[in-house]
Structure 1
């Protein structure tokens, strides 16, 4: 199995676990632990994003090589995952900014939505990973430059 996709998935799952525990801690009034867990979870989410972008630019994207009859369902699922992850990232920036500025009344209003969106995005990302690398053999990986200039077949 390729190492980089496993590393990316580890970053994402670590982030989700830390954020889930951090959410639990704030519900128990443990503000200091909450803050540390959320910052660490955010750091892992950032590491995931940077690693994912670097892999996409340097190595490329791996295509789904499962049965053709699942291709459309996979693409819809993948786009839903990507949209959720993007929304979660934007919400995460807003949520962190509000916390850093001490606007906790506003932070508390958006934080549950942010955490929920990220947890769903992480879970759907795990499904994408399993479909691409575990359940089915990985398809071809196409470098972004080649994909843009020549298409996936180039």
Structure 2
């Protein structure tokens, strides 16, 4: 598998997770609790699949650097860092939100859930932009394996 093919798989997981979360949010606003639960659990599983495949790609294949114009490298890096912070916040909120649901603490779940799904949808949108910038809009930069980079190869 190439870095690019795994990146497409990662993006599919992320977008499917965001789509499932959006559907789940819609369903709960219509009072369809069981359908909401199924959609959100699907979103969580797809999000976990994204995270696992992303980590495995990073460890086994490596990270692809920005291959676009030099004047866009710094803005890209700032955007990437903002996306990474959002992704971390979304993951933590997701765990908290899930925990509330599994413990039947629905008042807390209801209070934090809209924030969680909103941040996850923004994270998915910024992740899509990162993907497009790395693999579609510009030629991908080199992909370097994390261990080779650490060891100086």
Q: TM-score, normalised by structure 2?
A: 0.97
> Is 1:39 the counterpart of 2:41 in the alignment?
yes
2:150 paired residue number: 148
Alignment of 1:1-154 (within 5 A): 2-150=4-152, 154=153
- In structure 2, C-alpha distance between the alignment counterparts of 1:99 and 1:47, rounded to whole Å: 21
State the shift of 1:106 in Å: 0.5
- In structure 1, C-alpha distance between the alignment counterparts of 2:122 and 2:151, rounded to whole Å: 34
- In structure 2, C-alpha distance between the alignment counterparts of 1:87 and 1:30, rounded to whole Å: 27
5+ unaligned residues in a row in structure 1: which ranges? none
- In structure 1, C-alpha distance between the alignment counterparts of 2:133 and 2:139, rounded to whole Å: 8
- In structure 1, C-alpha distance between the alignment counterparts of 2:20 and 2:57, rounded to whole Å: 24
Deviations 1:82-124 (A, max 9, x none): 1100110010000001000000001011101100010000000
- In structure 1, C-alpha distance between the alignment counterparts of 2:124 and 2:113, rounded to whole Å: 16
- In structure 2, C-alpha distance between the alignment counterparts of 1:97 and 1:60, rounded to whole Å: 33
Aligned residues: 151
State the shift of 1:149 in Å: 2.1
- In structure 2, C-alpha distance between the alignment counterparts of 1:119 and 1:50, rounded to whole Å: 19
CA RMSD of aligned residues (A): 0.9
